[in-house]
Every structure is written in C-alpha cells, then in structure tokens.
Amino acid sequence: MKIAKGLLTAALMAATAVSALAGAGEKVRWAHVYEPSEPYHQWSEWAAQEINKRSNGRFEVEVFPASTLGKEVDLNQGLTLGTIDIIYTGQSFAAQTYGPLALSDAPYVFRDFDHWQKYTRSDLFAEFAEGYREASGGNVILGDAYYGLRHVTSNKPINTPADMEGLKIRVPNAPMYRLFPEAAGAHTSPIAFAEVYLALQQGVVDAQENPLPTIKAKKFYEVQKYIDLTGHVTGSNLLVAGGIFWSRLSEEDRELFRSVAQESADRVSADIAKSEAELVEWFRGEGVEVLEVDRAAFREVTLAVLNGEAATWTQDQFDRLQAIR
C-alpha cells in the first residue's frame, strides 16, 4: 500500500511539473538599445504582456532594454543566429542586408511626419520589407516606429553648413548617417550608442545627432551647450522578427505577433511625436540654447550628393517615395 501511494505521489508530482512547464509558455527574447524610460521600451513591455494575454500564456516575452544583450550590431547578429527573437533596429543597420531600406534614413527625403507615416503603409515599403526578408534569410519586418527628427547637438552654435566645417561628430555605424554631416564638411566618428555620453564629456567628439526625446533620455544636453534644429533625418526603427523564430510559428501566431507589434509601433510613434512637440521649451527651461537653423541651406548641400555613389536605392525608388501624397 505504501509503495502504491509512493508511486501515485511521484506520478502526481511529475504531472504537476509537466503542467507547470507547459503553462510557462514559450520564451521569446525581445531586445533593443533604448532606455527603460523611453516609449520604445514602455510599449515593448506592453506588447509583451499583450502577447502573453492574447495567446493565453503560450508565449512569454521578455524585453531586454538599454543594450543588455549587446550593441545594435550584436542584436542584428543575434537575430540571424536565433539567440534573439525580436529586435528594434535602425533602417541603416537593416540596409546593410538590403540596401534600399536606407532610403528612409536619407536626409531631407520626407516632407513631414505625415509623409513618413504614409510611406510606412505604402506599396513601396511593402516591397522593401519583402526584399529584406529574402536577403536576410527570412527575417520579417513587423512594424516601423517613429524615432523623431534628428538634430545636431554641439559645443558651438551651428547655424549654417559652414559652421560644421571640421566638426568632429558622432554618428551611428552605418554609411547613411555620414552623408549629411560629411556633405556639410564635418568629420564623422561611429561611436557605439552606449558610449556617446562619455565621448562627449571627454571631448573625443565635439557633437552628436539624435532626435530630441533621445537627447533628453540619454542626457546628452548635460554635456553639450547647443541643440541645433537641423531636422536632417526623419528617423524611424524597424521592429523585426528573426527568421528562425518566425519559422516556428503557426499562421495564427504570426498574425498575433504582427497585430500586437504594429499596434505597439504605432503607440511609440504617437508618444514620440507628442513629446517632440513639447521638448524645445523643456530644453530651454533647462538652460540649453536651442537654435533655429537655416535648413534650406543644409538641404541644398545635402541633396547635391544624395543620389550619388553612396545611394543604395535606385532613382525610381527615390522618385516613388517623393510621389507619395
């Protein structure tokens, strides 16, 4: 009798363990380089909870912010290797796999926020996403989230292209980010995102460029005297699922991830657009000099080289983007 009870207890414990394991859900690793205080992380966390809820616990998404799993290059490699399942990545990083994606990171190609938003829902964007999927071996673009207009911060005032002559400026490690500052005569340095604050503080570089919410979140204004409103790039980041992860999902689960990811990206975009509109006065309240610059002059010197040898898109693709209304 004692033996029978022992066997029954062991069987119940084993069944409980299996049940607990099944209830835990499949682990999904979602990584990005942004701070926990930023909308990118906050809405990624929301998406993680929504996916868990809408899948009845079949998926358990853990979000790793602030370069916890590596720099942006590392995250893209992890996506390919299958060690990371979902990432946010800049257009120009993805464009190292499929060149035309860099077009939306090119300086002054968008008229305004509305133009950018219509592009993300266009046939042109869908074609780019499919081209990237094929070139990357199966990585799938789930959404595109606004990152904001990129502006220069510096320790001297920047009002015209001549003011950038010889300036040492940090840019992300992708060719497209070098195009605007080099067209204006600056020297670019591809310092890793996590190291920018220290590089500015120690004078390794004189300047950097990022959207206003990022300048605030990363506290770059603490080590720079000026924010120069060049508005040179309408930045956005792709939300990408790795091909290895995606291949394991059923069509129903793919639709779940697509739906939640797009909603999350849309919420990021709305939050950043709202905060961007409020931040100029916030920075001035902190004692930072915010300069309205001659964007037309910067646009002129930049467009002169935009569709040159550095372009990773065709003239037709550029023209189709400009034609979106």
- Residue 21 pLDDT > 60: no
- The pair of structure tokens assigned to 6 is 């022992």
Beta carbons within 8 Å of 194's beta carbon, 6+ residues apart: 33, 66, 67, 71
| Per-residue model confidence (pLDDT) at position 175 | 80
Looking at every residue in the chain, the average pLDDT score rounds to 92
- State if pTM tops 0.75: yes
> How does pLDDT run across 158-208, given as a tens digit for each residue?
999 999 999 999 998 878 789 999 999 999 999 999 999 999 999 999 999
How far, in Å, CA of 312 to CA of 105, rounded? 11
Residue predicted with more confidence, 240 or 10: 240
| Per-residue model confidence (pLDDT) at position 6 | 46
- Residue 70 pLDDT > 70: yes
Q: Is 23 exposed, middle or buried (0-12, 13-18, 19+ CB in 10 A)?
A: exposed
| Per-residue model confidence (pLDDT) at position 5 | 42
> How does pLDDT run across 285-309, given as a tens digit for each residue?
999 999 999 898 998 999 889 998 8
